[in-house]
Amino acid sequence: MSTPDAPSPDAPGAASPDVLEARITELRAAVRRAMAAGDRQAARVHRAELRAAEQAWDDAVLGDGPAAPDTAPDADHDEPSASVRAPNRPSAAPRGLVPVREQVHQALTLIGAPAAPKLIGSVYATFFPGQIPGTRLTSLRRDEERSFRTAPYARPYYLGAALTADLLAPARGLLTVSTWPLERRIVGPLSARTDFLAAAVRVAEHAARREQAPDVQRLLWRFAANIPGAAAGAVGTVEPRALIEAAQAELDVHEETDRRQRRRAAGRARAQLDDAGRLFGARLRAMRSAASTTDGDHR
């Protein structure tokens, strides 16, 4: 143990490091006991006291240093204890030059199909300068919907949800662009696969026009590893043309059925939903009637 024997002379008047250390130990025990007993309220109180004591200890023993975690760069991040975060990437570009919705729009336009935030993030990081801050994506769709409902069509495009073919409800975790045809924004049972394959083609085409940097290869590999015949070469290396051919070959198998299902659902959506509904998905009420009338219809 490296407990200092005496309070450090430049400690800011208050408690000595020894006292603080004892207090920290005590508070940690208190938090854990409160959690074990299921008393979340008490745990929260002790946790706050604990953070304060830790901060005081840092100041007393280690002196002033770089910013403490609570004032870390990412202003709207979760509470540190809530998640284990990946190490900061030193390559993170200065924030604020391109708004998040614009970043997502660029990536989605490249992908050309409904996509999950994770894919959107990797595509952006690979082909555009900087990164999309992950925590912003979660609230994006809600913000877009609010904005649309307040002032419809005030913006040139909106980032909306993908709609499920059977219920015309928002599909979990998929983002689309409002200017896409409705058929493309609706997902049927085969669409997860066809959209993945279509994205593979688009991303590979984009990559073929560029230098094959390691991060481009990594992104292509993510597609190629899961498309039959796409990864003919050595493990981890992908030839964009081979990827495009393999993805297109499998796409040919599913595409027609998928398109038919999407088109039929789009017809229903046009008939049943208002503008906001078509962009952000049917609400529960609409869904109920849809569920009762369209059973068996989505295949």
Partner 1 sequence: MTDTAPALDLDRLRGATPPRNHDARTIAALTANPGCARRGVMDAAGVDKDAVSRTLGFPAPFGQSQFAITRGNVFEAQVKADGCAELLTLLRDRLGLAVPEVSYDDLEVVAGNEGRELRHARTRRLLRRALDSGEGTLYDHPLLRLEIAGQVAYLEPDVIAFQIEGRFHIVEIKSFAVIDGQAEPSQVAAAARQAAVYVLALRRLVAELGHPAERVSHEVILVCPENFSNRPTVTPVDVRPQLAVLERQLARLTRVDRIVAELPEDLSFDLAGALDEAVRAVEARYAPECMSSCEMAFFCRDEARACGATGALGRSVRDDLGGVDSIGTALALADGTLEPAADLAETAAQLRTAARLRAEALQSAGQGTAPDGAGLGSVA
Partner 2 sequence: MSVLTSLAQLEAAAAGIAQPLATVRHCHLADHPLVMVPLKLAGEAAAPLAVMIGSDPAAPALLAVPQPRNRDLRFAFAAELAQVVLKHIETHHGAVEDLPPAKDGTERIRYTDAPQLLVPNRGGVGFLRMLGRSTRFRRTDGPYAVEPSVPVLGRWLTWYTDRHDHPGSALLMTMTEALRLHWATGQSSLEDGNLAALLGWIAPPGGMDGPAAAARAEDPVLSPPAGPVTDPGFDNEVLAPAIAAFDASGRDPRAEERVRRVLEGQLAPTWELMWRAVEVLRALPEGASVPARWERDRDSFTYFHQTFGEAYPQARRDSPVRAAKRLHDMERAQDAYDAQRAFDDPLVMAEHRLNGLAFGGTVTECDPTRLDESGKRPKLRPHLRVGTEDPVRLDPGTEVCSAARPGLKGRVVSVDGASVLLELTGGLGRKLTPEPGSVPGVGARVVFTSLIPGSFGPSRFPDKENTPWTHGGPPADYEPTDEDAAEDWS
* Chain residues that interact with partner 2, rule: CB under 8 A: 1, 25, 28-29, 31-33, 35-36, 43, 47, 51, 54, 58, 62, 65-69, 72, 74, 77, 80-81, 83-88
284 near partner 1, rule: CB under 8 A: yes
Cβ-contact 264, 297 below 8 angstroms:
yes
Which is nearest to 221 in space by CA: 245, 202, 206, 240? 240
> Nearer Cβ to partner 1, position 215 or 297?
297
193 near partner 1, rule: CB under 8 A: yes
Give one DSSP letter per residue of 156-198, joined into a string.
S--EEEEEETTT-PEEEEEEEETTS-HHHHEE-TTHHHHHHHH
User: Pick from 40, 44, 118, 210: which binds partner 1 (CB under 8 A)?
Assistant: 118
Which residue type does 87 have?
A: P
Backbone angles phi, psi at 238, to 5 degrees: -130, 135
> Nearer Cβ to partner 1, position 23 or 122?
122
> Nearer Cβ to partner 2, position 62 or 291?
62
Q: List all residues 6 or more positions away from 281 whose beta carbon is below 8 Å from its beta carbon.
A: 160, 161, 163, 164, 168, 169, 170, 171
- 119's contact among partner 2, partner 1, none, with CB below 5 to 8 A by partner kind, is partner 1
> Nearer Cβ to partner 1, position 57 or 148?
148
**Structure-token pair, residue 172:** 């979990």
Binding site for partner 1 (CB under 8 A): 35-38, 83-84, 116, 118-119, 164, 167, 169-172, 189-193, 195-196, 199, 222-223, 225-226, 228, 250, 253-254, 281-284, 286-287, 291, 295-296, 299
